[in-house]
Amino acid sequence: MSQSEVERVIGRAVTDAEFRKALIENAREACKGYNLTEAELSALEALDAESLASFAGTLDERITKTGGLGFV
């Protein structure tokens, strides 16, 4: 497993609302540029949109792509 790749995906998902939406709608498509195993892709497909958005909402807006707006 490539933990660093999974961390990159999750990090991007919590700081980039547009990517987070794409990840929830179609994880395999959103993750095409990442080197992930089948197991990792399956785990990412199971992510809960509400939990991701909730966590993203706790971040300082200076570290989010949307500046605190548009959480999905």
Residue 66 within any structural domain of the chain: no
The answer to whether the pTM exceeds 0.85 is no
What would the pLDDT profile of 1-42 be if each residue is shown by its tens digit? 578 999 999 999 988 889 999 999 999 999 999 999 999 999
- At residue 30, the pLDDT reads 97
Residue 70 within any structural domain of the chain: no
Q: Is the per-residue pLDDT at 72 higher than 50? A: no
Q: Which residue has the tokens 């971040």?
A: 59
The CA-CA-CA angle for residues 40, 42, 14, to 5°, reads 70
**Residues ≥6 apart with Cβ < 8 Å to 19:** 12, 13, 30, 65
Q: Which residue has the tokens 């794409």?
A: 22
Q: Total domain count for the chain?
A: 1
- Domain span at residue 36 reads 3-61
Taking the C-alpha atoms of residue 32 and residue 68, their distance in angstroms, rounded to an integer, is: 26
